[in-house]
């Protein structure tokens, strides 16, 4: 009888070398870095993304009014005496209004520096947000000092 030497069909012909896979990784990484640098350079030359941060159309700053005159975004308004302090981490300031504690509006603002108006009677325009502790939480977009 003939005995045939057989090789298992599941055995790989060659062992994969870790050197080849690390070379490929370094090459791909280098190409990605070069593409990123090239894209950044081209965007900086084209002027895309340039502009002044924090300034937009409709910015108002007078002795009595400050903020953005965007009535579509800042459609809610309230008036009262502005005081420093929020409630349980909600709000940086509060607007004390007639009617007691339940009528107090707690305020935050990335547009107006509310510290400039502490102790003054003001009217604020903003956008109302849901709150856990505050009865009313508003992001202020515009402040007007009342006489």
The per-residue DSSP string of 20-73 comes to HHHHHHHHHHHHHHHHHHHHHHHHHHHTTT-S-TT--TTEEE-SSEEEE--TTT
pLDDT of residue 137: 86
pLDDT of residue 5: 58
Domain-wise residue ranges, the chain:
18-49, 60-145
Q: Is 2's pLDDT higher than 80?
A: no
CA geometry: angle 145, 136, 63, nearest 5 deg: 10
Note the pLDDT tens digit of each residue in 93-122: 999 999 888 888 889 998 899 999 999 999
Note the pLDDT tens digit of each residue in 26-76: 999 999 999 999 898 888 887 655 554 444 557 888 888 999 888 788 889
How many CB atoms are located within 10 Å of the residue 97 CB? 16
pLDDT of residue 55: 47
How far is it, in rounded angstroms, from Cα 97 to Cα 80? Answer: 5
pLDDT of residue 125: 92
How far is it, in rounded angstroms, from Cα 21 to Cα 26? Answer: 9
Q: Is 21's pLDDT higher than 90?
A: no
The CATH number of 60-145, from 2.40.50, 2.40.128, 2.60.40, 1.10.287, is: 2.40.50
pLDDT of residue 93: 93
Q: Is 7's pLDDT higher than 60?
A: no
């Amino acid at each position: 009888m003939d005995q045939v030497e057989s090789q298992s069909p599941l055995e790989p012909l060659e062992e994969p070398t870790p050197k080849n896979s690390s070379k490929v990784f370094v090459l791909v990484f280098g190409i990605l870095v070069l593409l990123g640098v090239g894209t950044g350079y081209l965007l900086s030359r084209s002027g895309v993304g340039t502009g002044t941060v924090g300034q937009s159309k409709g910015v108002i700053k007078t002795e009595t009014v400050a903020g953005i005159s965007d009535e579509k975004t800042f459609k809610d308004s309230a008036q009262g005496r502005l005081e420093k302090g929020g409630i349980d981490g909600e709000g940086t300031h509060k607007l004390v209004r007639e009617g007691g504690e339940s009528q107090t509006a707690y305020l935050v603002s990335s547009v107006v520096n509310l510290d400039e108006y502490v102790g003054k009677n003001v009217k604020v325009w903003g956008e109302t947000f849901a709150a856990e502790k505050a009865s009313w939480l508003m992001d202020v977009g515009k402040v007007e000092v009342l006489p």
